[in-house]
Amino acid sequence: MRYQNRKKREVTQLALDKVENAIELRGITKTFGSVVANDHIDLDVRRGEILALLGENGSGKTTLMNMISGIYHPDEGSIHVNGREVVINSPMDAKKLGIGMIHQHFKLVDVFSAMDNVVIGAEGKRIKPRELKEKILELTKKFGLEVDPEKKIYNMSVSEKQTVEILKVLYRNADILILDEPTAVLTPQETQKLFAILRRMKEQGSAIIIITHKLNEVMEISDRVTILRKGKSIDTVNTAETNEKQLTELMVGRPVTLEIDRPKCENVHTRLKVVDLSVKKADGTMALKDLSFEIKAGEILGVAGIAGSGQKELCEAIAGLVPVETGAVLHNKENIIGKTPKQINNLGISLGFVPEDRLGMGLVASMGMVDNMLLKSYDKAKGIFVDRKPAKKLAEELVERLEIMTPNVETPVRLLSGGNVQKVLLGREIESEPSVLITAYPVRGLDINSSYTIYDLLNEQKKKGVAVMFIGEDLDVLLEISDRIMVLCHGEVTGIVDAAVTTKEELGLMMTGSKREGVKADG
């Protein structure tokens, strides 16, 4: 007890000495059941700096930040804001301390304007709309934000929404800003705009923490980097004194190569031809407009586009899961549009599909590997009973071949890590010996090792002569692994380009709608 008191005094003393630290975390520990999400983490953020919090999925970044913003409460350890020890019990407490967090999923009211969204939840008296607008415009000028205060949220792009979130935080005079994977949903151009804003805030003396796992962005924007691995704080380095390779090694824990293979294939020919495909969303708006393209056997067709540009509908239309308005999908001249997955299968066409929602669509979360192997083939057995023997054999083979970490093949797949879940799903789809393999965001949320396993598996399929479609969000990855890249914007194709000769910036422009007619890459 006495020791602790002394230590507390010391800390206070320390804080007074180094008042430039906006936030200090000391020995923060948080466990969920038996899982230690954060293990005695120390972290400092200075005023006027951008700190990148780097780590793979599951390394505890978001948990740590949630404790600063009052969503969780630490089991152990202390939080100091501006040199004073504080207890943050709710997001309200965090707000009062000048801490603002921008989550991956925006928390905005769709039918309200930007202005209204900024004032709801803010303290203080109601002010007149005109004054409010002036105040907001002043803020936007100060930080270089581009936002129309009167515009309704539902009319906004993702980037604009994010700007409103930032505005919300600034309006509340927050000088400590936490951003959770802010660039995941942005085009390269939008990312640049965001970084400009962050730099302006930094100049005004704010402390900024940015959570990310994209190394190039870390190098570009941050002053210092704190690396987390498996819930532990591994190191904090000055960005200027490090490089991507070193950061990766710190993050993964051992040396890794960062190159993705792009093998060249013989006998590349059209496998699947999509002609004038139009699909409506459930709410009646168009999700896909007159899409036409080909997927070739022995190639990987990358699909780029900001989230919600029609990727999901495209996959599901090809797989026969959603009704289409017009158009055709020809598989070796056989039109499979309007057919159910079962009918397509009965035609002898094996269509592999790794959906975006792995546990909600591709797999049954509460079932073990064996039962998940059965998902598409349970009906093939004769009689009324399910035959689990071949499925069990298959599951065991997959465990061995893909090094799937699971207690046994009956363990519910929801208990497996993200990478293992994806291996189960992709493994099953590959085992059905598909002629076309559609994969939506196959490495999302996976650690670097697992990601590379997935890339290898996809390349293996490509070499076997499978037509692979790869819907991705990380443009660097798309550019490296794809043979050709199709860019979608608002449900339309804005270009199909040769990945080897295209730049990220070009893709970015197409993603926001500028068409590239000239460049045709037919492989």
Partner 1 sequence: MDETRKKEPLIRVEKRKERPAKQVRLLRLASVLLAIVAGGLFILCIGYNPFSVYATIVSGAFRSSMAFQATIKLMVPLLIPALGLTLAFKMRFWNIGAEGQIIMGAVFATFFALFCWDFPHWLLMICMFLAGMLGGALWGIIPAFFKAKFGTNETLFTLMLNYIALYLISFLRDGPWQDPNSSGFPKIARFGENAQLDKLFGVHVGWLIGLVLVVIVYIYLKYTKQGYEISVVGESRATAQYAGMNYKKIVLRTMAFSGAICGIAGMVQASGSDLTLTTSVAGGVGFTAIIVAWLAQLNPVGILVVSLLFSVLEKGSTVMQSSYGLSAYSADVLQGIILFFVLGCEFFVRYRFVTRKKGGKA
Q: How many Cβ atoms are within 10 Å of 109's Cβ, its own excluded?
A: 12
60 Ramachandran zone, left/alpha/beta (phi>0; psi -120 to 50): left
Task: Provide the pairing of β-strand 76-81 with 232-238.
Answer: unpaired
Of 53, 486, 484, the closest CA to residue 262 belongs to: 484
**Closest distance to partner 1 from the beta carbon of 28 (Å):** 11
| Side-chain-facing half-sphere of 468: CA atoms under 13 Å | 33
CA dihedral 134, 137, 139, 140 (to 10 degrees): 180
Q: Segment contacting partner 1 (CB under 8 A): 31-39, 56-64, 221-229, 479-487?
A: 31-39
Q: With binding defined as CB under 8 A, does residue 89 bind partner 1?
A: yes
| CA torsion through residues 438, 444, 449, 450, sign | negative
Which CB sits closer to partner 1, 240 or 282? 282
Q: Which residue lies nearer to partner 1 by CB, 247 or 314?
A: 314
CA distance 146 to 435: 47
Q: Which of 16, 120, 256, 386 binds partner 1 (CB under 8 A)?
A: 386
Residue selected from 366, 408, 503, 514 as contacting partner 1 according to rule CB under 8 A? 366
User: How far apart are the C-alpha atoms of 187 and 137, rounded to whole Å?
Assistant: 25
Piece of the chain touching partner 1 by CB under 8 A; list 15-23, 192-200, 285-293, 335-343: 335-343
Please, what is the minimum distance in Å from the beta carbon of residue 352 to partner 1? 12
Closest distance to partner 1 from the beta carbon of 43 (Å): 15
Residue 338 binds partner 1, judged by CB under 8 A: no
Strand arrangement, sheet containing 286-297? 286-297, 269-280, 326-331, 334-335
Please report whether residue 87 would count as binding partner 1 according to CB under 8 A: yes
Please give the Cα distance from 327 to 290 (Å, whole number): 7
Amino acid at 15: A
Which residue, 44, 45, 40, 43, is CA-closest to 77?
A: 40
Number of residues that bind partner 1 (CB under 8 A): 52
**Of 57-76, which residues contact partner 1 (CB under 8 A)?**
73, 75-76
Q: Work out whether 440 is an interface residue with partner 1 (CB under 8 A).
A: no
Note whether 42 binds partner 1 by CB under 8 A.
Answer: no
Q: Is 405 in the site for partner 1 (CB under 8 A)?
A: no
Q: Indicate whether 119 belongs to the interface with partner 1 (CB under 8 A).
A: no
Residue 360 Cβ, how far from partner 1 at the closest point, in Å?
Answer: 5
Determine the Cα–Cα distance for residues 483 and 264; give it in Å rounded to an integer: 9
Told to check if 190 binds partner 1 by CB under 8 A, we report: no
Does 245 bind partner 1 (CB under 8 A)? Our answer is no
* Residues of the shown chain interacting with partner 1 in the complex, contacts defined by CB under 8 A: 1, 4-5, 7-8, 26-27, 32-35, 73, 75-78, 84-87, 89, 93, 96-97, 319, 321, 340-342, 345, 353, 355, 357, 360-367, 371, 374-376, 378-379, 381, 384-386, 415
